């Protein structure tokens, strides 16, 4: 049974357009021009219990709007959605106790108070019994390695430490569905890996259903097997993450190591040189021409080592994002 079901969900906004200058301001008092922004265009997908799914798209694609719809923060223009059998925008208290929303650019902890004070407030809001609350808090602070920091004011913590505190606050009530919007935005590599490792371990242990948005492809590759790609408010791909490169990338990469310390000067005739540190070169070539180009290179040059790789995931997705809807 699907935990999240979305059918033809749409959200449109009326945006006021104003020209520059005082005369335009006066005109705007009597006559306003509006532009309709279709943030989400009749999207549809299903997510089963225990899945961790990446929800990808460029800025303005409709990712955060969709998460806000699923969390009940905003109402849709049309369409339907259910999460755990509830309609999110009806805002039932029973539903609120069963999901959590974490937004990397929004804080839910009190800035000037220690994190433990915000955790106690969450205990009261979600009506968690003291013993289970303390047991869960101890478990989460140990897993995220912040037990010694919960007594410090939130404003004194680093960005990575604050993000881990935000995760703890969101998980204290044992949600069945977790909506993550850019959870590692702005974090350093060490903090990113700690958050990734925690999410991977915790989701597998609790069998929680997770929908993750991120522009950091290392998050996606480390955590998700399935990806939903949205662009210009429409779903462009829904399937295994591994299929994205095959479906949207028309090139492959050849890694060459030439004999000696020199590299040939005419390699551009075979493909695009994307990196070269003599005697190593990285070529990008059309996928369909790979066998022919590889055979020609091996026949003409003295090559000590060769390797063929798929285009990096982030490059394939960037290519997809740059395409217009009419090109899909």
Please give the pLDDT value at position 323: 62
- Residues 6 or more apart whose CB falls under 8 angstroms from that of 207 comprise 49, 50
Please give the pLDDT value at position 155: 92
Highest CATH level, class, for 2-12+41-245: alpha beta
Is the pLDDT score of 215 beyond 70?
yes
Interval 58-79 mean pLDDT: 91
- Residue 205 CA to residue 198 CA, distance in Å, equals 11
Give the chain's mean pLDDT: 88
Interval 165-172 mean pLDDT: 94
Residue with tokens 């990196």: 275
- The more confidently predicted of residues 232 and 202 is 202
Sort residue 266 into left (φ over 0), alpha (ψ -120 to 50) or beta: alpha
Residue 325's pLDDT band (boundaries 50, 70, 90)? very low
Please give the pLDDT value at position 14: 84
Residue 248's pLDDT band (boundaries 50, 70, 90)? low
- Residue 26 CA to residue 124 CA, distance in Å, equals 50
> Among the listed ranges 56-60, 103-107, 173-177, which one has the minimum average pLDDT value?
103-107
Give pLDDT tens digits for 94-136: 999 999 999 877 788 999 999 999 999 999 999 999 999 999 9
Highest CATH level, class, for 250-310: alpha beta
Which pTM does this prediction carry?
0.79
Do 274 and 282 meet the contact criterion of CB atoms below 8 Å apart? yes
Please give the pLDDT value at position 327: 47
Strands (E), 248-312: 251-258, 272-277, 280-286, 303-310
Is the pLDDT score of 137 beyond 90?
yes
- Residue 318 CA to residue 321 CA, distance in Å, equals 5
- The more confidently predicted of residues 29 and 181 is 181
Residue spans of the domains in the chain: they are: 2-12+41-245, 250-310
Please give the pLDDT value at position 328: 44
Residue 59's pLDDT band (boundaries 50, 70, 90)? confident
103-128 burial code (b ≥16 CB/10 A, e <16): bbeeeebeeeebbbebbbebbeebeb
What is the DSSP track for 2-27?
Answer: EEEEEEEEEEEEEEEE--SSHHHHHH
- Residue 139 CA to residue 146 CA, distance in Å, equals 11
């Amino acid at each position: 049974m699907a935990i999240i079901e979305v059918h033809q969900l749409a959200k449109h906004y009326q945006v006021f357009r104003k020209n520059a200058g005082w005369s335009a301001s006066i005109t705007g008092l009597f006559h306003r021009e509006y532009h309709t922004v279709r943030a989400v265009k009749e999207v549809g997908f299903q997510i089963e219990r225990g899945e961790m799914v990446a929800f990808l798209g460029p800025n303005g694609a409709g990712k955060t709007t969709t998460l806000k719809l699923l969390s009940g923060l905003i109402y849709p223009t049309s369409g339907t959605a259910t999460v755990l059998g509830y309609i999110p925008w009806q805002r039932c208290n029973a539903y609120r106790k069963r999901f959590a929303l974490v937004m990397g650019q929004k804080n839910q902890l009190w800035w000037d108070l220690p994190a433990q004070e915000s955790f106690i407030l969450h205990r009261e809001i979600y009506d968690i019994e003291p013993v289970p609350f303390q047991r869960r808090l101890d478990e989460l602070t140990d897993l995220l390695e912040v037990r010694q920091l919960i007594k410090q004011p939130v404003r004194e913590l680093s960005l990575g430490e604050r993000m881990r505190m935000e995760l703890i606050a969101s998980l204290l009530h044992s949600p069945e569905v977790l909506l993550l919007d850019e959870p590692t935005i702005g974090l350093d590599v060490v903090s990113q890996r700690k958050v990734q490792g925690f999410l991977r371990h915790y989701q597998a242990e609790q069998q929680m259903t997770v929908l993750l948005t991120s522009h950091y492809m290392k998050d996606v590759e480390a955590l998700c097997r399935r990806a939903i790609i949205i662009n210009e408010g429409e779903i462009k791909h829904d399937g295994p993450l591994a299929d994205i490169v095959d479906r949207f990338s028309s090139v492959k990469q050849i890694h060459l190591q030439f004999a000696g310390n020199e590299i040939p000067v005419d390699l551009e005739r075979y493909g695009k040189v994307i990196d070269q540190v003599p005697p190593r070169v990285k070529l990008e070539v059309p996928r369909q021409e790979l066998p022919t180009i590889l055979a020609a290179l091996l026949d003409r040059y003295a090559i000590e080592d060769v390797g063929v790789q798929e285009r990096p995931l982030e490059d394939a997705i960037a290519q997809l994002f740059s395409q217009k809807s009419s090109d899909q």
